[in-house]
Amino acid sequence: MLARKVELQRRKYGGGRPAAVKGIMRCLGVDLGHVLLPLTDLTSEEEKQICQDLIDMGFIMIELPMLMPKTEALCW
């Protein structure tokens, strides 16, 4: 069941798309910078959605600063 969820998320965000990988790392507090042209970065909404998807799947079990209001966000 988990493998199916992972596969669906992989397809949703374009497989091994570098922007998605960098977005996931940003969710974890590691900023790897922008992707190189001609690729494009995730929008902030896409990045929040991928983080929320990972939380919903149980891959991330913490409150993420990027999903909290700015005043409540922790410094990493």
pLDDT computed for residue 25 by the predictor: 85
For 19-58, write each residue's pLDDT tens digit: 888 888 888 888 999 999 998 998 989 888 988 888 888 7
The reply to whether 71 falls in a domain is no
User: Two tokens at 55?
Assistant: 């939380």
pLDDT computed for residue 34 by the predictor: 94
The reply to whether 69 falls in a domain is no
pLDDT computed for residue 36 by the predictor: 93
The reply to whether 75 falls in a domain is no
The reply to whether 70 falls in a domain is no
The whole domain housing 9 covers 2-62
The residue-averaged pLDDT of 62-66 equals 58
The reply to whether 76 falls in a domain is no
Output the DSSP codes for the chain. -HHHHHHHHHHHTTTT-HHHHHHHHHHTT----PPPTTS-PPPHHHHHHHHHHHHHHTS--S--GGGS-TTTPPP-
pTM over 0.75: no
Domain total of the chain:
1
